[in-house]
Structure formats: structure tokens, C-alpha cells
Amino acid sequence: MNKLFGTFNIKDDGVGMPKTSAKEGHFGIKIMQERALSLHGQLHITNHQPSGTHISLTIQQNKT
């Protein structure tokens, strides 16, 4: 069973991210998701146009 290690939140007060898919040659969000998975975590990105973006990373600690 895993237990919660931590939750990290980032919020900005900008205009948010465009709702269109990622631009060709840009891998930032994909890499963030892969790294979250490698830490047994979950990455959630919520776009609140026009008031900014909220990124939340929750990491589970493996119980061995």
C-alpha cells in the first residue's frame, strides 16, 4: 500500500494556457507528466482562462 508523501501546488495569475493541443516540438507538459509517473505521482493541470493556471503534483511513497 502507498501512502501520501506530499502535494505540491503551483498557481499563476496570468492568462492561462491555450486550450489547443501542444505545439510541435514542445514537450514541457509531457515531460512533467512522465516525471510525475516515475515518482509514483499524479500531475493535474487546470486552466482557468483568463485568470491563470493551477498545476498540482501529488506524490505517493512506496511502502516496501
Q: What is the pLDDT of residues 7-64, one digit of tens each?
A: 999 998 887 676 665 667 778 888 999 999 998 899 999 887 778 889 999 998 766 5
Domain residues of the chain, as ranges? 3-16+26-58
| Res 1 pLDDT > 60 | no
pLDDT score recorded for residue 2:
64
- Using DSSP's 3-state secondary structure scheme, residue 7 falls into strand
pLDDT score recorded for residue 42:
93
Q: Choose between 5 and 20: higher pLDDT.
A: 5
* pTM to 2 decimal places: 0.70
- Using DSSP's 3-state secondary structure scheme, residue 33 falls into helix
